[in-house]
Structure 1
Amino acid sequence: MRRGFVAVVGLLAIVVLAGCQAGPKQQPSAALGSVSHAVSAGARTPAWVITDSRMAGPADLGGYTDHVSVTSGEPFRLFVSSSDGNFTVRAFRLGWYRGTGAKLVWTSAVVPGVPQPPPTLTPLRMITTNWKPSLTVPTKGWLPGAYVLLLRAANGKEKYVPIVVRSNSARDAVLIVDAVNTEEAYNAWGGYSLYHGPHSLAARRSLEVTFDRPYDDGGARGLLNYAAPVIQEAEQSGVRLAYATSADLDADPGLLAGARGIVFGGHDEYWTLGMRNAVTKARDHGTNLAFLGANSVFWRVRYAPSRLGPRRVMVGYKDARLDPVKNQPVTTVRWRSNPFADPENSLTGMLYECFPAVGAFTVRDPGFFLFAGTGARAGTAYPGLIGDEADRAYPIPGTPANLQVVAHSPTTCGPTHHTFSDATYYTAPSGAGVFATGSIEWVRALAGPDPKAGVDLAGVTFARTVTLNVFRALASGPLGRTHPAHGDLAPLHESPSTASGTGGVVGTVPKPLDLHTKA
């Protein structure tokens, strides 16, 4: 729902170690995204981190892969355009790695770098490219996980390209999902995204976007902001993990069979019907779910092929009147809107509430099992942990009857509008437990204090402790068997009207103006 990502820089103290030549300090690029607390204070800048001085310009260096994910041992092609001459590629796997944040797993030889042809604009205002592959990358021996490919030109300038090595199966594991759909929806490389076109005009936005182009900014903003902090926490948990992307859930729903849990990061807004069906089926077979952000399952999209293969184009008209696929379950509108309205609360437990949201995460149920070890009491508030998008529980059809509201946080939406953000938990008849934090800022806080948002060390410690609890709990099996939810939404006397938020009314067709100003 947000108009753009807000990059967050975590705790990364860059100093000159004893015995090294002194020089000016460099801060991580704002385009980088989250640099986790995994990077210890007093350490050198890790080799995988691109600093401002090394970040290549948008037209100078960039690349993309021919698959958003591959299995270990499956090669992929890398398409690179370089106006800065020859380049090398280094592949880093994101993780804890004793506080470094990532591990180098592969380095290329020097690759000839040339400018590739300029992008083209389709009639549906999709920016696409017709580049030649620059090299094929082997992945033999690469563990499942999220990776960044670091392109480095001869002049020292750098860019990222993300890739996921997906697991063959999530059976008996907790699956982490990289939200590539949402990352692509916000990608404005070439001047167009699903949000705007030139001059930030929503009326000129793309109606389709493609993975056949680089990402804007540093090249991996969404992955580093909203997945990397989760991954770095998870890999300290001792839990068996698996990895996949949004597109993998659509392409291979069998991947989820037998999974202990599925975790969605800070911002997983764009879902296909296939994704939702797969995750719902998994929940109904006992797989626990955790939504660690907000605004999840908000826009319904569908895939189309490109010259590079299936699911390379994401269709998102965001308006049933514009979409040529009429009155179908795959018509691209808000999930809560007609046709075939299916609001997100039946899966996440809540509805998307508002942007821009600001508030303190306020504990309502200190005895909630996932809050163990935090020391929180009823009414304990963690400033800044609500933002900049938030969810809220509503007493409407689809909301689970046993929904347990474990945090109820006063929240401002814009300068004058007041509402609430909730964190919730429910259990399904299958025994699966579903937890949702209700705030995008939750995942950013895992990377360390965020002065801009007002998140202090107490909030960081709370979020990290709960997140580790989440992974360990999900891995234990269907949570409803040991921690059945106890519905307590009614005592809050919430109104069923969604007028307090900016997400739109349930079961309607939004006005075009509403779509453009609040998309």
Structure 2
Amino acid sequence: MGADHIRRWESGALAHAVSDPFGQGPLPWLRNSENYFDDAGQVVPWYADPQLARGGSGGPRTADDVHRQIKGFVSPGAALPGGSIDFHITVDPPQQFSVDIYRIGHYGGDGASKITTSPRLSGIVQPPPLTADRTVSCHHWWLSWRLQIPSYWSIGAYVAVLTTLDGYRSHIPFTVRDDQPADLLLLLPDVTWQAYNLYPEDGRTGASLYHAWDDEGRLLGERDAATTVSFDRPFAGAGLPLHVGHAYDFIRWAERYGYDLAYADARDLHAGRIDPTRYRGLVFPGHDEYWSVPMRRTVEAARDGGTSLVFLSANTLYWQVEMSPSPSGVPDRLLTCRKRRGPGKAALWREMDRSEQQLLGIQYAGRVPEPSPLVVRNAEHWLWEATGAGEGDELPGLVAGEADRYFPRTALPEHRKRILLAHSPYRDGDGALRHQETSLYRAPSGALVFASGTFAWSPALDRPGHVDSRIQRATANLLDRICKRD
């Protein structure tokens, strides 16, 4: 396999960059060749660990899916303080490695803080992934390390950084959650992350719900992709999900300003481990495209019970999925979405007479090839209060990636009040004029339901080069009102 092929598969951005112009985002330790500047032109210190910050200049090198220098996954993806996370890791060639555990947050601008480091661990070459009908699974890998989570650890989004003795590095995200009440519950979209996971990006066996490879190493489209993907495998490339940066942008901003946050994964929502009555609002900070029936049922019940909903991306609740156990019987380790293939009912919520708009107030309209301005509408509304935004003002680059809008012929949710807070023209891939909209409605229960309708909202909160103070203030206006139950 030539070096040109390996370079093609270094990162999942190859397959999906068109749908996420923000990529991974400025994560501590991951980016080493770029400087990020704030609005005042000051360099932003994104690296929590100076040694890792050096990256390409003698520091660790990123592992890849061709050589599998070090790759791994965890089970489960979320655990309580006092619980444990099991790491399944392959190391080639076999050698010692260590695991640094970081927690994502603001941390004075660092973006993360190192919490602990594992002892030196012995790495082995795990068996090749098993494949069946495009489904790739590593459920047969041996346990490499069990992380016992101390009871005093803070809940939150964590990243394990795996580093071999000879300096190769990979990553594994996981969540520490609890059941204590909080103002806001942040839901990390791990179901959608897995749908996009093309591991292994080796030109042969990897497959996601979007892509697979042919016999000559060419990337095939949705028609030839997997219909079932496994959580029992690493994430492709650097080991972080493709859209993870959206969630981390929101986390850094929200923790900087002291919001009372709880954390959970979409699979916790699916499995019934979440009681929405313990929270004033549920926040969906990133691309959250794939939903099971139990996920939607729980969120609709939350809204109807008075818990507000905040959707900070676009293309939410688009495909319906099913979850099933792994071959060894562990629940919710396989994700299935038939898309448009085979006989029977469609897999789109809107084609089952359960359109996204009936929950969100707007729904997916299409991709946005080039970032366009978000055009403010109803500027007198409290969401835009003290933002400095006036009627018709254009917020540059805030309609990007994918966009939602209101569909007049599609049913709306029951509501007391409803308003559109942006109406933004853009050109689609064919050059046709489209428009994006941002929505807010108050349900009969009193719950507020906000949908940004664009991928660019969370990055505008805390992504260097994308920060917009008007979006920051508008988001604060929304969350403050939810937390105070105004």
TM-score normalized with structure 1 length:
0.80
The structural deviation recorded for 1:44 is 7.2
Matched, 1:334 2:348: yes
Contact 1:36/1:447 (<8 A) preserved: no
- 1:106-505 matches, within 5 Å, as 106-123=116-133, 125-129=134-138, 130-140=140-150, 141-169=152-180, 171-190=181-200, 191-198=206-213, 199-202=218-221, 203-222=223-242, 224-252=244-272, 254-306=274-326, 307=328, 309-319=330-340, 321-322=342-343, 326=344, 333-337=347-351, 340-357=352-369, 358-400=371-413, 402-450=417-465, 455=466, 460-477=468-485, 482=486
Contact 1:36/1:228 (<8 A) preserved: no
Contact 1:66/1:308 (<8 A) preserved: no
Contact 2:209/2:226 (<8 A) preserved: yes
Distance, in Å, in 2 between the alignment partners of 1:50 and 1:6 is: 25
Distance, in Å, in 2 between the alignment partners of 1:42 and 1:430 is: 43
Distance, in Å, in 1 between the alignment partners of 2:248 and 2:70 is: 23
Distance, in Å, in 2 between the alignment partners of 1:472 and 1:312 is: 36
1:233 is paired with a residue whose SS is: helix
Give the direction of change, closer, same or farther, for the CA distance of 1:393–1:69 in structure 2 (3 Å limit): same
The structural deviation recorded for 1:11 is 6.8
The structural deviation recorded for 1:96 is 1.1
Matched, 1:57 2:71: no
The structural deviation recorded for 1:232 is 0.8
Give the direction of change, closer, same or farther, for the CA distance of 1:417–1:222 in structure 2 (3 Å limit): same
2:350 is paired with a residue whose SS is: coil
Contact 1:299/1:318 (<8 A) preserved: yes
Contact 2:365/2:403 (<8 A) preserved: yes
The structural deviation recorded for 1:50 is 8.6
The structural deviation recorded for 1:168 is 1.3
Moved over 6 A (4+): 11-14, 34-37
Distance, in Å, in 2 between the alignment partners of 1:11 and 1:182 is: 20
1:257 is paired with a residue whose SS is: helix
Contact 1:233/1:468 (<8 A) preserved: no
Distance, in Å, in 2 between the alignment partners of 1:62 and 1:12 is: 18
Distance, in Å, in 2 between the alignment partners of 1:192 and 1:151 is: 23
* Cα RMSD (Å): 2.6
1:475 is paired with a residue whose SS is: helix
Identify the match of residue 94 of structure 1 among 80, 99, 104: 104
Distance, in Å, in 2 between the alignment partners of 1:409 and 1:134 is: 50
Distance, in Å, in 1 between the alignment partners of 2:307 and 2:238 is: 35
The one-letter code of the counterpart of 1:219 is G
Give the direction of change, closer, same or farther, for the CA distance of 1:150–1:434 in structure 2 (3 Å limit): same
The structural deviation recorded for 1:308 is 6.0
Give the direction of change, closer, same or farther, for the CA distance of 1:79–1:354 in structure 2 (3 Å limit): same
Contact 1:36/1:229 (<8 A) preserved: no
Gaps of 5+ in 1: 15-24, 483-519
TM-score normalized with structure 2 length:
0.85
Distance, in Å, in 2 between the alignment partners of 1:247 and 1:422 is: 29
The structural deviation recorded for 1:5 is 4.1
The one-letter code of the counterpart of 2:294 is G
Q: Equivalent residue for 1:27? A: 33
The one-letter code of the counterpart of 1:301 is V
The one-letter code of the counterpart of 1:353 is A
Residues 58-115 of structure 1, C-alpha deviations (whole Å, 9 max, x = no match): 2221110011111111012100011152110011111111111111112100111122
Contact 2:368/2:399 (<8 A) preserved: no
| Identical columns (%) | 31
Residues 346-366 of structure 1, C-alpha deviations (whole Å, 9 max, x = no match): 111111001135321110111
Contact 1:162/1:223 (<8 A) preserved: no
Matched, 1:75 2:84: yes
The one-letter code of the counterpart of 2:159 is V
1:193 is paired with a residue whose SS is: coil
Gaps of 5+ in 2: 1-14, 201-205
Distance, in Å, in 2 between the alignment partners of 1:248 and 1:179 is: 10
The structural deviation recorded for 1:275 is 0.3
Distance, in Å, in 1 between the alignment partners of 2:220 and 2:355 is: 28
The structural deviation recorded for 1:12 is 8.7
Distance, in Å, in 1 between the alignment partners of 2:236 and 2:26 is: 24
Give the direction of change, closer, same or farther, for the CA distance of 1:154–1:299 in structure 2 (3 Å limit): same
Give the direction of change, closer, same or farther, for the CA distance of 1:35–1:301 in structure 2 (3 Å limit): farther
Give the direction of change, closer, same or farther, for the CA distance of 1:196–1:153 in structure 2 (3 Å limit): same
Distance, in Å, in 1 between the alignment partners of 2:54 and 2:432 is: 39
Distance, in Å, in 2 between the alignment partners of 1:475 and 1:207 is: 40
Q: Equivalent residue for 1:41? A: 43
Structure with the larger strand share: 2
